[in-house]
């Protein structure tokens, strides 16, 4: 597996552990619908939480969450719509970003709840 793929998988595992420690229920990891993918799908009380995980080894150029562009947001919204329709979900949907910087044996997590809203598109 390519090094960047391994880094991404490590970040997703860290994010999953973070959400579990906060009391979220993990419903799906790496859920796919066609060419769309959602890193994590969780439940936080009565909300469905769609999570994009961005992992880097440094934030010299930009913070990892800055890589969640408008195009990426559109893709996440489409994937979330597919998930909601497929499983007939009626609860509120929230889009979060987890930004992780892994340096040596340590990591820094930034959780951005309600990072963007689908009504903006």
Enumerate domains of the chain plus CATH numbers: 3-120 (3.40.1350.10)
Position 33 confidence tier, pLDDT thresholds 50, 70, 90? very high
Tell me which residue of 3, 49, 1 sits closest to 22, measured CA to CA: 49
Residues 56-115 pLDDT 10s: 887 656 677 878 889 999 999 999 999 999 999 999 999 999 999 888 778 889 999 999
Measured CA to CA, the distance from residue 1 to residue 51 in angstroms comes to 23
Report pTM: 0.88
**Alpha-carbon distances of 100 from 5, 79, 93, rounded to whole Å:** 14, 22, 23
Position 3 confidence tier, pLDDT thresholds 50, 70, 90? low
In this predicted structure, what is the pLDDT of residue 121? 45
């Amino acid at each position: 597996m390519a090094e960047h793929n391994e880094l991404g998988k490590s970040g997703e595992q860290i994010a999953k552990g973070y959400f579990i420690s906060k009391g979220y229920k993990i419903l799906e990891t790496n859920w796919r619908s066609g060419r769309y993918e959602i890193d994590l799908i969780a439940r936080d009380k009565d909300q469905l939480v769609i999570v994009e995980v961005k992992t880097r080894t440094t934030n010299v150029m930009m913070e990892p969450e800055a890589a969640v562009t408008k195009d990426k947001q559109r893709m996440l919204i489409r994937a979330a719509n597919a998930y909601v329709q497929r499983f007939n979900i009626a609860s509120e949907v929230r889009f979060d970003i987890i930004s992780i910087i892994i340096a040596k044996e340590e990591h820094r997590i930034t959780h951005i709840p309600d990072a963007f809203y689908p009504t903006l598109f």
